[in-house]
A and B are shown apart, each in its own frame.
Chain A
Amino acid sequence: MGKEKIGWKELEIGCVVTEPGSAASYKTGEWRSERPVRDNTKCIKCGICYIYCPDACIREDEEGYFEADLYYCKGCGVCAHECPRGVITMVEEEEEAKEEKEK
């Protein structure tokens, strides 16, 4: 994120943020140590994960399945805990990265 390079002289007085809604660009996904991985074959499209996600980062796709936006997902695991069908498993970021490499 470019803003991470801002020097102290470039800040507005009192750190005022002049761009409305700029929080959207903040990548909270970097906080995550585990990510939600889905097995949608068991999903009943009830939307409970969507309702419970405290970060409101779960989106519904065209087929009615749900997916976390990993740019924001903090890996709290609430969705996995609330899902009545055990669709979601929390997987260590490192393992996920390893698997991706192997692919």
Chain B
Amino acid sequence: MTKRRIVGLEGSFAIAEAVRMANVDVISAYPITPQTHIVERLAEMIADGELDAEFICVESEHSAMSACVGASAAGARVFTCSASQGLELMHEVLYIPSSMRLPIVAVAANRALSAPLSVWCDHSDVMAIRDIGWIQIFAENNQQAFDLTVCAYRIAEDKEVLFPAMVHMDGFYLSHVTEGVMLPDEEEVAQFIPDYEYPFVLDPDNPVSMGCYGPPFIYPEAKKAQEVDFEKTKPKIQEVWNEFGDTFGRSYSPVEEYQMEDASIALLTMGSSGETAMLAADEMRAEGREVGLVRLRLWRPFPFKEFREAVKDVELLVVLDRALSFGMGGPVCSEVKSALYEKRKELNIVGFIGGLGGRDIPIDGFKYMVNRAVERVKAAEWGEEMGPEMIGVRE
């Protein structure tokens, strides 16, 4: 007998519910907008006895991640969350669990970086940590924020994975917006993420050393092993998402397609703007245009195969970046180009940068990008450069 129910929850509370049902042992986090509600809700759950976990209060995000590393190494199931400057302060420590293979699960409420100071959403903080060896997954709505956090534990703790995983949820767009979320029965979640055993734990009776010194004679071997294992997580991630689908009725893929049947133009998004882009695709379809949408659910490890497959028949790919790599353009666009370079050199790829620091991208914004991309491809035939363009910026 399952007791599934739909509850109105903001994204932060949906995450807190997922963490509670995952029955974590240790939480260590430091509040920062727009992630604060997750930490507050979890602290409340512990205080009210709804969750039997240790909450380690710390003075910074650097310490929060350090506490998580220690707890995870001792065999605990761990959670933390952050955003923006907080994630940056955590940055140094983020490399440790991915190299020591500790399955910590974290959530980032994606937010712009200073200056000027902005508490609003973009993906600058995500892009600053894309090379740290964490599995990075994007949620598009609050249901996904819940589901993908539950799945993140199952993925991270799998014996064939053992890498930390971060679920990315757009700050405010999801963290502070209430949506109906289908909550599963706690028992079902407990069965889906069984207790796990780390192959090595800090145990005085069976001493091991973790995070040792790696002189030049061993460091490259360590990195090779890490990279090979990281690549091998891809099929496992899909397997867990399929199994989640079988149990709970909602499954996920590294690359998700919308209206891509016979599409000649594809938009590409990550995160919450995918939902607006879907509406834009619907409207353009109604106008008789062959526009579809591709959403990257998995950002790391990058799903090369699935991505190439998704765009194999399109003639024009329109990429939205919610971050700027100064002097280079949009990081998603440049990665997508490199992913396609070997196989699809003839494909037109036009990148746009938008939605920085919480600036909304309305439906018309996506239509503009598609129209503008078509124009720019034509202009390129006359020799004009197709460099990245920032949209919605006042002259």
Please tell me which stretch of A16-24, A33-41, A52-60, A66-74 contacts chain B, meaning at least 4 of its Cβ atoms lie within 8 angstroms of it: A16-24
| Cβ-based interface call for A97 (8 A) | no
Please tell me which stretch of B211-219, B281-289, B377-385 contacts chain A, meaning at least 4 of its Cβ atoms lie within 8 angstroms of it: B211-219
| Cβ-based interface call for A98 (8 A) | no
**10 A-B interface contacts by CB (under 8 A):** A8-B222, A13-B200, A14-B162, A15-B214, A15-B218, A16-B100, A16-B200, A16-B209, A20-B208, A26-B215
A6 contacts which chain B residues (CB < 8 A)? 218, 221
Q: Is the CB of A20 within 8 A of B162?
A: no
A61 contacts which chain B residues (CB < 8 A)? none
Could you tell me the distance in whole angstroms from the C-beta of B242 to the nearest C-beta in chain A?
A: 25
Partner of B221, one of A8, A13, A17, A18: A8
CA distance A24 to B220 in the complex (A): 22
Q: Is the CB of A3 within 8 A of B218?
A: yes
Q: Is the CB of B212 within 8 A of A17?
A: yes
Contacts A16-B200, A17-B212, A18-B200; A11 near B207 (Cβ below 8 A): no
Q: Is the CB of A15 within 8 A of B162?
A: no
Of all chain A residues, the one with the shortest Cβ separation from B228 is: A8
Size range of the interface on B? 20 to 34
Q: Is the CB of A20 within 8 A of B222?
A: no
Could you tell me the distance in whole angstroms from the C-beta of A16 to the nearest C-beta in chain B?
A: 5
Q: Is the CB of B208 within 8 A of A15?
A: no
| Cβ-based interface call for B199 (8 A) | yes
Could you tell me the distance in whole angstroms from the C-beta of A11 to the nearest C-beta in chain B?
A: 5
A102 contacts which chain B residues (CB < 8 A)? none
Of all chain B residues, the one with the shortest Cβ separation from A20 is: B207
Could you tell me the distance in whole angstroms from the C-beta of B76 to the nearest C-beta in chain A?
A: 16
Contacts A7-B221, A8-B228; A13 near B209 (Cβ below 8 A): no
Number of interface residues of A (CB under 8 A): 18
Q: Is the CB of B200 within 8 A of A15?
A: no
CA distance A7 to B217 in the complex (A): 10
Contacts A16-B200, A18-B200; A8 near B207 (Cβ below 8 A): no
Partner of B224, one of A8, A12, A13: A8
B213 contacts which chain A residues (CB < 8 A)? 23
Of all chain B residues, the one with the shortest Cβ separation from A11 is: B225
A-B pairs with lowest CB-CB distance, top 8? A14-B101, A8-B221, A17-B209, A8-B224, A14-B100, A4-B217, A8-B225, A20-B207
CA distance A8 to B372 in the complex (A): 49
Could you tell me the distance in whole angstroms from the C-beta of B74 to the nearest C-beta in chain A?
A: 14
CA distance A22 to B218 in the complex (A): 15
Q: Is the CB of A17 within 8 A of B218?
A: no
| Cβ-based interface call for B328 (8 A) | no
B359-386 contact mask (Cβ, 8 Å, vs A): 1 or 0: 0000000000000000000000000000
Could you tell me the distance in whole angstroms from the C-beta of B229 to the nearest C-beta in chain A?
A: 8
B99 contacts which chain A residues (CB < 8 A)? 14-15
A8 contacts which chain B residues (CB < 8 A)? 220-222, 224-225, 228
Q: Is the CB of B102 within 8 A of A22?
A: no
A23 contacts which chain B residues (CB < 8 A)? 213
Listed residue (A8, A11, A18, A22) with the most chain B CB atoms within 10 angstroms of its CB: A8
CA distance A22 to B212 in the complex (A): 11
Q: Is the CB of A9 within 8 A of B218?
A: no
A4 contacts which chain B residues (CB < 8 A)? 217-218
